[in-house]
Amino acid sequence: KAVFAAAFALTALNWVSRYSVGTVLVATLGGDVAPVLFWFLGWAAVAVSSAVPTPGAAGGAEAAFALVHAPVV
């Protein structure tokens, strides 16, 4: 049970960190920070980049990030 709990906690930390990139980026640049909105937008960017059929979603991840964050930033 301890191994499962540790694996679950590390996985949760990984996903929270992944979705927090937008929040940290905007906060670093001095913009208005809305963590829940940026986590949702991060999820949308990851979902879109997962659907891009190129190896590693080259270019698709960056385009999705720019597309979903452009109206907010």
DSSP state of 20: T
> CA 42, CA 55: separation in Å to the nearest integer?
20
* pTM for this predicted structure: 0.64
- Euclidean distance between CA atoms 4 and 1, whole angstroms: 5
pLDDT, tens digit, 9 for 90 and up, residues 25-66: 888 988 888 888 888 888 887 787 777 776 765 677 777 778
